[in-house]
Amino acid sequence: MSAHYPTLLVTVPLLSAFVISAAGWVNKRWCFPIAVAALGVSAYSCVGLLLKVADGGVVHYRLGGWPPPWGIAYYVDQLNALVLCVVSLAALINLIAAKKSIEREFPEKTAPFYTLYVLFVTGMLGITVTGDAFNLYVLLEIGSLTGYGLIAMGDKARAPLSTLNYLYMGTIGACFYLLGVGYLYIVTGSLNMADIAHLLPPLYHSKAVLTAFIICLVGVWVKMAFFPLHGWLPNAYTFAPSAASSLIAPLMTKVMIYVMIRLILTVFTPQFAFGTLLVSKPIVWLAVAAIVMGALLALKERDVKRMLTYIIIAEVGYMVGGAWLGNRAGMTGAILHIANDALMTLCVFLAVGCIVYKTKGARFEDIQGLFRKMPFTMAGFVVGALSIIGVPPTCGFFSKWYLISGAIQAGQYGFMVALLFSSLVSVVLFFRIFEIAYYEPFQDHHGETHTHHASLMDEAPLGMVVPLLIVAAGLVVMGLYTGGIVSHVIRFVIPKGLV
């Protein structure tokens, strides 16, 4: 059984999508348990894989027994095992948390929603597990198309247009990636990543290879909303239903970062990406721009969810910059941040989901007095916020530490300053929310009339708050296990040549 983990984690949710769809015609109540079971199998397989490859092993898996480069090969090392675990667990927790809001937001369409949901997760997991550059494109389209569907189910007035915009941009990004893969196929005649990597070194000075790399990179950047290619993201994530945005926001951008790192480390080599190409410095400066602009754009928003979308754009800058610092600490930070950022984004989006469930909106006017009304939700939100700010012992601090260390070692002080700046702006961003939720409506005559407010607690359902608090606790646990994750997992991913 455990030998088939790599395929189980993709095929089970894929097939369950059909079952859910069919079950929806019979009895809508069956959809949710089927989806949970399918994602549960995925998550179980992913954790099993991570345990298997921790401390140095890798898993090769041939779909249908066809040998590469003709058949599709799945390839699991520490890098994607970690991402797989994060993706599957985040998707599972979010699914459980989202049940209430799905049933309330579109009671008629629960079956399609769950179908799209598991298909999206299939796409994300597939992208991560595959060792085939073209297969990656196919799964990317599965993930993207279902993502568009999920987002379009949101706000009736504005979601369709945002989705259309996202669809255009997303398709362009995917096409760029496909074009790049085409170039690679032309020069190497192979689509298997390991095989390409094996064939490429003599061709590194070919213009076609160079073009292929740059085009792939740009395509992936569009998909991850790397500044200035981020235009589609804020609207799409803001107007999506809570359950969809808390799924897509943590996962989509992070998985694309993974793809970028996979391209750098496995398909090409760090020597090629950081040495031959001479683009790392400009890319780090682009990342600086992403971080600074993300932070500044977030400042002007008056809606919690929308503000968070700009924070995602800044966080993408963290990871791209870290990866392109071209040293061990920076790459460690970037990979660690994939996991950490997915979890903390999930945490804050889950909290926003709870808030929206109760207040019907997350505009700054809606969140007044929330610390009194929804103390547990806000507690989870505070932990997520502290992690985004980068306060120990939450995990956000530790990846930021590696990123800044990398910046210092690479002499990229601009990147270091940008990271610190974004931390400080995050303090402002989140404490502005805390202030509104804490002070307003103002209690100018203190000491009087407070007792009347005391019992106005109006918390979101347990099924939403408990997953949120689990994720919040997970942020601290992840933080404390940083040492273990780096020494048992990430250390093996980074080639020895990278100092």
Partner 1 sequence: METIISIKPLLAVLVSLLVTPILVSSRASNVRESWTFVAAGLKFLIVASMVPAVLHGSQIVYTIAEVFPGVAIKFRVDALGMLFALVASSLWIITSAYSIGYMRGLDEHSQTRYFVFFALALSATIGVAFSANLLTLYLFYEMLSFATYPLVTHHQDREARSSGRKYLLYIVGTSIGIVLPAMLVTYNLTGTLDFSMHGVFSGTEPRATIVVLLLMLVLGFAKVAIIPLHSWLPAAMVAPTPVSALLHAVAVVKVGAFSVIRVITGVFGIDLLSRLHLGTLIGYLAAFTVIVASLIALSQDGLKRRLAFSTIGQLSYIVLGVALLSPKGLIGGMTHIAMHAFGKITLFFCAGAIFVATGKKNISEMVGIGKRMPITMTAFLIGSLSVIGLPPTGGFFSKWYLVLGTLQAHQISMLVVLLASSLLNAAYFLPVVYKAFFCTEQEAMFPNTVQEAPLWCVVPLVVTAIGSIVLFFYPTIFLNLAKLAIGV
Q: Residues interacting with partner 1, by CB under 8 A?
A: 386, 389-393, 398, 401, 404-405, 408-409, 416, 420, 423-424, 427, 431, 435, 438-439, 442-444, 446-447, 450-451, 454, 479-484, 486-487
Minimum CB separation from partner 1 for residue 464, in Å?
A: 20
Minimum CB separation from partner 1 for residue 354, in Å?
A: 19
Minimum CB separation from partner 1 for residue 482, in Å?
A: 5
The single-letter DSSP state of residue 430 is H
Residue bearing tokens 């460690």? 332
Beta carbon nearer to partner 1, 150 or 292: 292
Residue bearing tokens 């915009």? 165
Distances, alpha carbon 369 to alpha carbons 363, 385, 443, 472, in Å: 13, 18, 11, 21
Beta carbon nearer to partner 1, 52 or 491: 491
Of 96, 7, 13, the residue nearest 48 (C-alpha): 7
Report the C-alpha dihedral over residues 181, 120, 344, 54, rounded to 10 degrees. -60
Residue 26 buriedness (CB in 10 A; 0-12 / 13-18 / 19+)? exposed
Give the whole-angstrom CA distance, residue 331 versus residue 399.
10
Beta carbon nearer to partner 1, 167 or 475: 475
Sign of the alpha-carbon torsion through 212, 215, 219, 221: positive
Beta carbon nearer to partner 1, 104 or 450: 450
Minimum CB separation from partner 1 for residue 430, in Å?
A: 11
N- to C-terminal Cα separation, the chain: 38
The two three-digit tokens of residue 64, written as one number: 């249908």
Say if CB 327 and CB 410 are below 8 A apart.
yes
The two three-digit tokens of residue 43, written as one number: 């998550």
Give the whole-angstrom CA distance, residue 315 versus residue 263.
20
Minimum CB separation from partner 1 for residue 284, in Å?
A: 17
Minimum CB separation from partner 1 for residue 209, in Å?
A: 35
- Name, in order, each residue with C-beta under 8 angstroms of 149's C-beta and a sequence gap of 6 or more: 112, 116
Minimum CB separation from partner 1 for residue 427, in Å?
A: 6
Minimum CB separation from partner 1 for residue 473, in Å?
A: 13
Say if CB 151 and CB 249 are below 8 A apart.
no
The two three-digit tokens of residue 438, written as one number: 């804490």
Minimum CB separation from partner 1 for residue 392, in Å?
A: 4
Beta carbon nearer to partner 1, 252 or 416: 416
Beta carbon nearer to partner 1, 41 or 486: 486
Beta carbon nearer to partner 1, 204 or 492: 492
Distances, alpha carbon 186 to alpha carbons 139, 208, 213, 318, in Å: 22, 9, 13, 34
Beta carbon nearer to partner 1, 222 or 419: 419
Give the whole-angstrom CA distance, residue 85 versus residue 385.
23
Minimum CB separation from partner 1 for residue 58, in Å?
A: 24
Residue 27 buriedness (CB in 10 A; 0-12 / 13-18 / 19+)? exposed
Give the whole-angstrom CA distance, residue 486 versus residue 499.
15
Beta carbon nearer to partner 1, 454 or 499: 454
Beta carbon nearer to partner 1, 39 or 433: 433
